[in-house]
């Protein structure tokens, strides 16, 4: 039966064969090799189908095969190889080689693959669980390729072991080169070739990748739309992250907000003109809505009208009635021209104060510095994404750049 499946999937398998992505667990280790092979093939197929936006082909195939595939889809994926009679090569730094247990030397692949996946903290909500092949229909990501390993020695030292994608032959050498060039990146402590798999052992950075930092980080938006001091305080004071900031940072932020308030107001009031013009035939009193509910100071409204070339709000409505699109474009253009750059600086300054206070360093600044450093050293990193930047915890926080693959996943 498996031969039939093989025939049907031949073309896809060819594609899959060039990229081996793995996932495993000790659960598999006692199962029969033929079934493991099927799971491996289906894992690759499902992964690639999902990557190209296709469904796993369970329709239009022999009933018997379809039932089997559906059962196999519930299995935990396998992406690592178990080839026999292939070269084995283990190169470890002395301190690591002494700490590796006997089970590792008996069967490196089996031992590594049975280690726990690295904890990706908050990011995990966005990744598959790694429990079934069927999960790839939602998202093609192999969560099992990066393992966190506690070495069984006195120090219980932690290391990270990454299964290297066969299409990423240069990852190890680039990571090494980067480390040697002084770029903050985990040191490579060893490499392993076993049963057709390549692994690299990395120094473990005790911390979080930037996607996984405490979630408050994702709420650190400057309050562009909060124009009233009371509202500013109420909204922020009730937000979780504001409470985490030191009193000093809170003070700084408030000062910053005050500094940019005229620009914030200009943008807000201008946008409100458009809103009002659109809704002007609504049942409520539009002027009251504008001035009372939003609490814009009258002088700021007058000033904004003037800057747009209008005397009164009714002038705006008249212009809007004449040519809505033209009026809206004119106002939008002016907003952009006057506030885009300046409010971006506001946002950056705001984030910097928050980041320094919450994490000890400015992540934005540090990321920029890392980018410059890579340029300077002539080592290209393909993806400065948050998940590839790890902030160490501890007294002296430091930002590390990881993942020296060449292709964006
Ligand atoms: N040396 C390390 N120290 C600490 N965490 C790491 C280390 N290497 C990887 N990680 C964690 O594992 C995640 C995936 O590692 P990465 O090398 O980026 O794999 P991928 O190629 O799947 O993106 C990272 O986002 C990070 O959270
Ligand atoms: Mg990565």
pLDDT over threshold 50, residue 298: yes
Q: 248 lies in a domain? A: yes
Residue 21 lies in a domain: yes
331 and 238 together in one domain: yes
pTM: 0.77
Please check whether residue 82 lies inside any domain of the structure: no
Strand 207-209 vs strand 389-392: parallel, antiparallel, or unpaired?
antiparallel
Ligand 1 centroid–CA 172 distance in Å is 14
Q: How far apart are CA 141 and CA 51, in angstroms?
A: 9
Q: 233 and 164 in one domain?
A: no
CA 146 / ligand 1 centre spacing (Å): 7
pLDDT at position 201 over 90: yes
- Do 326 and 222 belong to one domain? yes
By mean pLDDT, which of 26-35, 147-156, 272-281, 370-379 is the weakest? Answer: 26-35
Mean pLDDT of the chain: 83
For residues 68 and 113, membership in a common domain is answered with no
Whether residues 241 and 114 share a domain: the answer is no
**Structure confidence at residue 301 (pLDDT):** 86
Q: For strands 188-194 and 146-150, give the pairing.
A: unpaired
Q: Is 391 inside a domain boundary?
A: no
Q: Decide if pLDDT at 4 tops 60.
A: no
Assess whether pLDDT exceeds 90 at residue 221. no
Q: With a cut of 90, say whether residue 392 has pLDDT above it.
A: yes
Domain finish residue from 345, 363, 381: 363
Q: How far apart are CA 48 and CA 19, in angstroms?
A: 9
CA distance 355 to 361: 6
Around ligand 1, the residues with Cβ closer than 6 Å are 118, 120, 145-146, 160, 162, 186, 202-205, 209, 387-388, 390, 402-403, 405, 409
Rounded to the nearest 10 degrees, the angle between the axes of helix 298-307 and helix 247-278 is: 60
Write down the pLDDT at residue 2: 31
pLDDT value of position 313: 84
Q: How many domains, the chain? A: 3
Classify residue 186: in a domain, yes or no.
yes
Q: 33-51 and 63-72 are packed helices; what angle lies between their axes, rounded to 10 degrees? A: 90
**What's the rounded Cα separation, in Å, for the pair 289 and 231?**
16
Beta pairing partners, 149: 159
- Are 118 and 42 part of one and the same domain? no
> 149, 183, 206 — which closes off a domain?
206
pLDDT digits (tens, 9 = 90+) for 179-194: 999 999 999 999 999 9
DSSP-assigned states of every residue in 10-59: HHHHHHHHTS------GGGGGS-HHHHHHHHHHHHHHHHHHHTTPPP--S
Output 163 or 124, whichever has higher pLDDT: 163
In a domain? residue 32: yes
17 plus 153 within the same structural domain = no
Which atom of ligand 1 lies nearest, measured to the CA of 162?
17
**What pLDDT does residue 51 have?**
86
Residue 389 domain flag: no
What pLDDT shows up at residue 133? 93
Q: What is the pLDDT of residue 52?
A: 86
Task: Identify whether the C-beta of residue 86 lies closer than 8 Å to the C-beta of residue 113.
Answer: no
CATH number of the structural domain spanning residue 108: 3.30.200
Final residue in a domain of this structure, among 206, 226, 251:
206
The pair phi, psi for residue 310, each rounded to 5°, is -120, 155
The verdict on 317 and 231 lying in the same domain is: yes
391 burial type by CB count under 10 A (0-12 exposed, 13-18 middle, 19+ buried)? buried
Instruction: Tell whether the model's pLDDT for residue 232 goes beyond 90.
Output: no
**Local confidence band at 14 (pLDDT 50, 70, 90 cut-offs):** very low
**Helix (H) / strand (E) containing 350:** helix 324-359
Ligand nearest to the CA of 148: 1
Q: Are residues 222 and 194 in the same domain?
A: no
The DSSP secondary-structure symbol of 218 reads: G
**Sheet containing strand 389-392, strands side by side:** 207-209, 389-392, 399-401
Domain region containing 341: 215-363
Residue 407 lies in a domain: no
Q: Tell me: the pLDDT tens digits for 46-68?
A: 898 888 887 776 665 666 677 88
Using CB atoms within 10 A of its CB, is residue 119 exposed (0-12), middle (13-18) or buried (19+)? exposed
Q: Which residues pair with 162 in a beta bridge?
A: 146, 200
Mean pLDDT for the stretch of residues 281-301: 59
Residues 232 and 318 in one domain: yes
């Amino acid at each position: 039966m498996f031969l039939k499946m093989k025939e049907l999937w031949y073309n896809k398998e060819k594609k899959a064969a060039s990229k081996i992505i793995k996932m495993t667990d000790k659960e598999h280790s006692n199962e029969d090799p033929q079934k493991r092979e099927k799971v491996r093939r289906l894992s690759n197929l499902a992964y690639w189908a999902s990557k190209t936006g296709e469904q796993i082909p369970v329709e239009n195939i022999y009933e018997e095969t379809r039932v089997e595939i559906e059962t196999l889809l519930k299995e935990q994926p396998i992406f690592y190889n178990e080839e026999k009679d292939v070269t084995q090569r283990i190169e470890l730094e002395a301190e690591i080689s002494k700490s590796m247990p006997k089970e590792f030397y008996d069967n490196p692949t089996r031992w590594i693959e049975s280690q726990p996946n690295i904890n990706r903290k908050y990011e995990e909500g966005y990744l598959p669980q790694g429990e079934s092949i069927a999960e790839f229909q939602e998202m093609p990501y192999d969560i099992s390729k990066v393992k966190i390993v506690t070495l069984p020695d006195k120090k219980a030292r932690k290391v990270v072991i990454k299964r290297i994608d066969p299409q990423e032959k240069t990852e190890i050498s680039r990571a090494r080169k980067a480390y040697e060039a002084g770029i903050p990146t985990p040191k490579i402590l060893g490499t392993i070739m076993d049963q057709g798999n390549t692994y690299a052992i990395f120094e473990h950075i005790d911390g979080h990748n930037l996607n996984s930092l405490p979630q408050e980080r994702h709420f650190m938006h400057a309050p562009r739309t909060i124009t009233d001091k009371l509202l500013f305080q109420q909204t922020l004071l009730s937000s979780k992250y504001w409470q985490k900031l030191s009193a000093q940072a809170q003070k700084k932020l408030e000062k910053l907000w005050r500094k940019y308030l005229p620009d914030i107001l200009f943008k807000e009031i201008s946008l409100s003109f458009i809103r009002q013009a659109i809704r002007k035939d609504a049942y409520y009193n539009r002027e009251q809505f504008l001035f009372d509910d939003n609490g814009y100071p009258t002088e700021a409204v007058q000033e904004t009208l003037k800057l747009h070339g209008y005397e009164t709000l009714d002038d705006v409505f008249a212009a809007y009635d004449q040519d809505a699109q033209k009026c809206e474009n004119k106002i939008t253009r002016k907003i952009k021209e006057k506030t885009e750059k300046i409010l971006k600086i506001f946002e950056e300054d705001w984030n910097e104060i928050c980041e320094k206070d919450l994490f000890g360093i400015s992540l934005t600044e540090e990321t920029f510095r890392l980018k410059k450093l890579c340029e300077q050293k002539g080592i290209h990193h393909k993806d400065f994404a948050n998940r590839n930047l790890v902030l160490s915890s501890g007294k002296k926080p430091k930002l590390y750049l990881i993942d020296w693959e060449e292709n964006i996943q």
